Amino acid sequence: MIALRRTIYAAAAFLIVSAAAAAMSPSRLDGFNIIATVGHPFGSPDAGRAVAQAKRLGAGALAIVPFLWQATPSSATIKRGSDMPDEELRAAIRQVRAQGLLAVVKPHVWVPESWAGAVAPASESAWHAWFTGYERAIVHLARVSAEEKADAFVVGTELRHTVQRPEWRTIIGKVHSVFPGLVFYVAHNIEGAEQVPFWPALDAIGVSLYPPLGADDDSAGRKSVMEAVTDRIDALAQRFGKPVIVGEVGLRSAKDAAAKPWQSAEERAAAPDPLLQADVLADWLHALDRPSVRGVMVWRWLSDPAAGGLNDTDFTVQGKPAEEVLQCAWTGECAKAMALPDQKR
């Protein structure tokens, strides 16, 4: 199956129109989640090159991801991780802004051998303790982000079991008091976004999109899934009168990744399939091209400028055909992508 060429020719006209529209809306958050990698910290020349590479593809924004850490999903103790101290966070924001890109600070909670969506302290007192620690870390990060003039701040990412708690209103209020830019939360999938009660307190609705997309070769099936999701995004935006920012969307460049788009390389070994990644991202960009969506942030980009490549099977798009799809969408420069030779899966 000649996947990439079909994708590029079918989507080229749409992508050029989208790029023109994006150029008229400089406040859109289109770009990448950028992750610090070992040996390539923010502030280093390598990280600077990686940021510049993202800009050359047409990214208008980068989401910087500092981590909070807790030992287990039920733990009452949460604290700032050691991955990105304040000075490195400051350096990251400065490097992003120095390239003329919008800087988004998007904290994640790291739970060993689990994920943020599993966080659920075991008792009422544990919930209070957890939120005390979370608030302390988040408000501090928001203050640092404000001092460095970041453009947007995410108060939480995919913490699905926490969203019905009343503590969120207090945290959002405190973040607003120290951070003057755009403030939003990123819910897990459209189902999670529909359950969040505190959207009225935020500037935008955020959502990550990793629904099952079926078999790799079922293009019609995955487009149907995407259309259903984006119809619900429109309804959510209309219900709350807020724009929607897709805080994460992505796919591993690996065979059989479409069935479980959230699955990491650590969870499942697979042969590389960079054309599948390009195909799926092109389909998502097409589906998300609607007035309710004010930004699409791809997962992910690494601070190592040499990351990725055709044999890599992780989420990064670096050195893969997906770069050409994104450049086409964000800049309208599609000639290089359309000129790629036919490649079969």
Model confidence over 250-282: pLDDT tens digits? Answer: 999 999 999 999 999 999 999 999 999 999 999
Which amino acid belongs to residue 154?
V
pTM, to two decimals: 0.92
Domains defined along the chain, listed by start: 3-338 (3.20.20.80)
Q: Residue 343: pLDDT above 60?
A: no
Q: Residue 26: pLDDT above 50?
A: no
Residue 189 parent element (H or E): helix 189-193
**Binning pLDDT at 50, 70 and 90, where does residue 24 land?**
very low
Model confidence pLDDT, tens digit, residues 274-305: 999 999 999 999 999 999 999 999 999 999 99
What are the backbone angles phi and psi of residue 300, rounded to the nearest 5°?
A: -160, 180
* Length in residues, the chain: 345
Mean per-residue pLDDT of the chain: 92
Model confidence pLDDT, tens digit, residues 115-160: 999 999 999 999 999 999 999 999 999 999 999 999 999 999 999 9
Tell me what pLDDT residue 332 has.
92
Six-digit token string for 164: 């019905």
- At residue 190's C-alpha, the angle toward residues 204 and 114, to 5°, is 100
Helix (H, G, I), strand (E, B) or coil at 303: coil
Tokens 């976004």 sit on residue: 193
Strand order in the sheet with 79-80: 79-80, 67-69, 108-110
Q: Residue 316: pLDDT above 70?
A: yes
DSSP letter (8 states) at residue 179: -
Q: Residue 67: pLDDT above 60?
A: yes
Q: Residue 6: pLDDT above 90?
A: no
What are the distances in angstroms from CA 312 to CA 20, 33, 252, 254, 259? 32, 18, 9, 8, 19
